[in-house]
Amino acid sequence: MGSGAKTRSPGDDAEAVIETRDLRMRYGSAEVLRGLDLRVRRGEVVALLGPNGAGKTTTIEILEGFRRRSGGEARVLGVDPDDAGEAWRARLGIVLQSWRDHGRWRVRELLAHLGDYYAPYGAPGRPRPYDVGELLGWVGLTGQADAVIGTLSGGQRRRLDVAVGLIGRPDLLFLDEPTVGFDPQARQDFHELVHRLAGLEDTTILLTTHDLDEADRLADRIVILVAGTIVADGTAAELSRRVSGTAEVRYRLDGQAHVTSVEDATGHVRGLFERHADAITDLEVRRVRLQDVYLAMVREFESGRRTEAPRHLAEVTA
Ligand SMILES: Nc1ncnc2c1ncn2[C@@H]1O[C@H](COP(=O)(O)OP(=O)(O)OP(=O)(O)O)[C@@H](O)[C@H]1O
């Protein structure tokens, strides 16, 4: 464990692990990606969110070198994915949406076999692959090490998918809906694993998920893609400032229910009590959740009100 020193310096060009400019993809006459400018720094965890069909998987597949883009620029670990070779590929970890091969192998066997592929690509401070036993512990499959893969449950199978993506100790990990089918414990274990990878292993992670609480918990930065366009890019807190209010205050006044969206929940509540004192009951304050922000932004974009180019919201780092 432990690689080189972590240097998270926003704005430092040298640290860009993924960089795209005007990335475009067309299937026949259908324009699926409409000019994405995306930048992910080393050690960052970025969640790519968006409705079904928005282009998330297509984006990831282009960055992984599985699909050739129709236009624009892309650099991943400093290399154009369309021209990249095996040494580059060995630095990536990939967890696809579904992967159903190798049903007759045993869990440990498969990981050891895949790990052998990565061994020649180890680097000083970054030996490859991970130890299989250690990795099985991380993904919660120690008890299934000798199980035949075809006998695993859906959630165990998904844990194995994560282990397969990780075995080569990737510099950059792509996770396409990694926690589908996870029970709450597996989900929590996975979240701890992501924090450990980014924090201790300096792994850069780009993940897609439809679980917005998960994105909120895991990601340093959220990118929202709608119909092939990035409509928002920033931390969860920055995104929430884009929609009206950052907290919701619910209460009853003389028995009548009220819900108000506010910036300053404390000040608002203080004012309520000053004005209405004991007439206020059932008070609740809740922070605007990423889900609310996300739905507001998708609705806003789809209703055509936002037509200008996407903007980056990391003004605080400028
Ligand atoms: N091989 C293909 N040929 C033609 N169209 C495709 C192909 N692959 C994807 N598409 C289309 O591209 C669009 C984007 O698909 P993509 O799978 O990237 O979306 P997504 O955001 O990952 O969706 P989901 O949340 O459902 O996984 C969709 O309209 C899809 O139908």
Q: Give me the CATH number covering residue 74.
A: 3.40.50.300
Maximum C-alpha span of the chain: 73
Cβ proximity of 40 and 204 under 8 Å: yes
* Same domain (yes/no): 20, 49: yes
Residue 299 lies in a domain: no
In this structure, the residues whose C-beta lies within 6 A of any atom of ligand 1 are: 27, 32, 50, 52-58
* Same domain (yes/no): 222, 260: no
Residue 48 lies in a domain: yes
* Same domain (yes/no): 41, 74: yes
Q: How far is the CA of 76 from the centre of ligand 1 (A)?
A: 21
* Same domain (yes/no): 53, 198: yes
Residue 298 lies in a domain: no
The total number of structural domains that make up the chain? 2
* Same domain (yes/no): 160, 25: yes
Residue 53 lies in a domain: yes
Q: How many CB atoms lie within 10 A of CB 299?
A: 11
Cβ proximity of 179 and 193 under 8 Å: no
Q: What is the pTM of this model?
A: 0.82
* Same domain (yes/no): 143, 279: no
Cβ proximity of 214 and 207 under 8 Å: no
* Same domain (yes/no): 63, 209: yes
pLDDT at 8: 42
Q: Is the dihedral of CA 31, 36, 41, 47 positive or negative?
A: negative
Residue 250 lies in a domain: yes
* Nearest Cα residue to atom 7 of ligand 1: 27
- Alpha-carbon radius of gyration of the chain: 22
- What are the tens digits of pLDDT across the range 133-156? 999 999 999 999 999 999 998 889
pLDDT at 204: 96
Q: Please list, residue by residue across 215-244, b when 16 or more beta carbons sit within 10 angstroms of its beta carbon and e when fewer do.
A: bbbbbbbbbbbbbbbbbbbbbbebbbeebe
* Nearest Cα residue to atom 28 of ligand 1: 53
Helices 184-200, 132-139: axis angle to 10 degrees equals 130
Q: Is the peptide bond before 127 cis (omega within 30 degrees of 0)?
A: no
Cβ proximity of 202 and 173 under 8 Å: no
The whole-angstrom separation of Cα 191 and Cα 195 is 6
* Same domain (yes/no): 99, 130: yes
pLDDT at 14: 46
* Same domain (yes/no): 80, 40: yes
Atom of ligand 1 nearest to the CA of 177: 27
Q: How far is the CA of 58 from the centre of ligand 1 (A)?
A: 6
* Same domain (yes/no): 152, 22: yes
Spell out, as residue ranges, where the chain has pLDDT lower than 50: 1-14, 307-318
- Alpha carbon 162 to chain centroid, angstroms: 14
The whole-angstrom separation of Cα 25 and Cα 71 is 7
ipTM: 0.96
* Nearest Cα residue to atom 6 of ligand 1: 27
pLDDT at 245: 66
Residue 293 lies in a domain: no
Of 56, 47, 95, the closest CA to residue 217 belongs to 47
* Same domain (yes/no): 220, 277: no
| Terminal-residue alpha carbon distance, the chain | 33
Residue 258's domain spans which residues?
Answer: 244-287
| DSSP, residue by residue, 156-214 | HHHHHHHHHHHTT--SEEEEESTTTT--HHHHHHHHHHHHHHHHHS--EEEEE-S-HHH
* Same domain (yes/no): 99, 172: yes
Cβ proximity of 132 and 116 under 8 Å: no
Residue 294 lies in a domain: no
Q: What is the DSSP code (8-state) at residue 125?
A: T
